[in-house]
Every structure is written in C-alpha cells, then in structure tokens.
Amino acid sequence: MTTDWLQLRERPTLVVGAGGLGGAGAQALALAGARVLLADVDADHLEAVRLRVKEAGAEITTVQVDLRTPDACRTLVLDAAERLGGIEVFLHAVGKNVRTPVLDLGDDDWESVLTLNLSTAYWTAQAAGRVMVSAGYGRMVFCSSVSGLLAHANHGPYAATKGGLNQLLRVMAREWAPSGVTVNGVAPGYIETNLTRAYLDKDGNREKLESLVPAGRLGRPAEVADAITFLASDRAAFVTGQILYVDGGRTLV
C-alpha cells in the first residue's frame, strides 16, 4: 500500500525520543518518505531504531543528546534545522514514569519527571515553533497519555506532566494556527513496548490492564505510530489543538 497520500515524502522531520513510541513513530515517518533526524540520550535505542528502519527499506539519521537543559534542547533544534534544511514535522516522545504514591514521592522524583516529560517538550517545541512559524508551515505531534485525563493511582508527577502537556499544546495550537502550524497530541492507553514489558510481565499487571480496556487487549506501538503519521501529514491540515486517544476504549469506562 502506498503512503504517498500522506504527503510526507522528503519532509524534514525531527523526532525526539527513540524509546518505544518515539522509535515506532520515527520508523513510520521514515517509511512514509520523511527525512528523519532522531535524537535520544540512549545510543542503544538509537541504533536499534536505525537498524529496524534500514531493514524495512528506509533510512534515518541519529544523534545522541541529553535534553534535560534548555540549551541542549534549543541547540538540537537549530542543528536539526540546519542539517535538514528546515523542520516541517516535529514529534516529541520523551518521557518516564515513577510509580509511587504521592505521600512517598521525593522532590528529586518530582523534578526529574517534570523536567523530562514537560520541560523538554516546552524547550524543544518553542525552538521548533520559531522555525515553523517563520516558514509558514509545520506539523507538531506530542506523545501524551490517557493519564492526562484519568486519575491513575501512583502516577502523580506523570499525570501532572501529561495534563500540563495537553494544555501547553492547545495554547501553542491557538497561537500558531494563523501561521500554518498545527499542534496535536496522541494519548496512548496501555501499550506494550520494550520499555513496559518488564512491568507488564510481573504481578499480573498485564491481565489487570487488559481487563480495563473494552477492546480486551493492549495496544501496539505501530497503532500509535499510525495516529502520529496522520497528524503529521497534510491529511490533518485542519486538525489542531486536539488530543487523539489511541486506547482501545479505555477512556470510555
């Protein structure tokens, strides 16, 4: 099946985060013809995605970078724009969770999750937004979560960052819409990735989560990547400020 209808061919694309969903998104965008620069702090994740993409018949460029400071984020975006000849598609898929009750959380846990999940999104998006607004075109997609809507126990800082991210992207969408820039989020439900498999495989967690999903199963990274490629494409040109839930119906119950 051809993917030309997405009109992503040769689009200069920056993807931040090579973990499960970021890697899947980078692969899907590359296979749709985009010129992808993938950034992550983990060299092994970067190489694994590069090899998967190559085996599937496409190419991506990778760069190892720690994005936990404003300067690192802004430098990455500027370097990517120079290497790619601009940035027309941007995907932020960086994040982590600390599964701890609020009363047991330490300050370091709170700060580290907020910095990685929310601050990096702001720093990179602000820099990419300047590039896109100046060019009069852009597609931004952020990986949010059903935790931005649902009150999961032991997810305090994670839920706070995803709820904050949802509102941040809506404000950016409102401000940048006149400049031809769309800003949207995908909010996955329970997705099985290499990063979540260890948690799912202990204490009956897989079965517990599956029982909460009307579809009766966990999601696959490729299913989230399909939503990402749609929102990154010109097929979604009139869609902005939206959170697309990819959750098998989890938020319905």
Q: Which residues are catalytic, by number?
A: 158
Classify burial at 102, counting beta carbons within 10 Å of its beta carbon; exposed 0-12, middle 13-18, buried 19 or more: exposed
Q: Distance (Å, rounded) from C-alpha 51 to C-alpha 139?
A: 26
Which residues, including other chains, have CB under 8 Å from residue 115's CB and lie 6 or more apart?
A: 68
CB 6 within 8 A of CB 229: yes
Q: Is the dihedral of CA 138, 193, 69, 105 positive or negative?
A: positive
Cite the beta strand spans of 66-134 per DSSP E: 89-92
Nearest to 132 by CA among 238, 6, 10, 11: 11
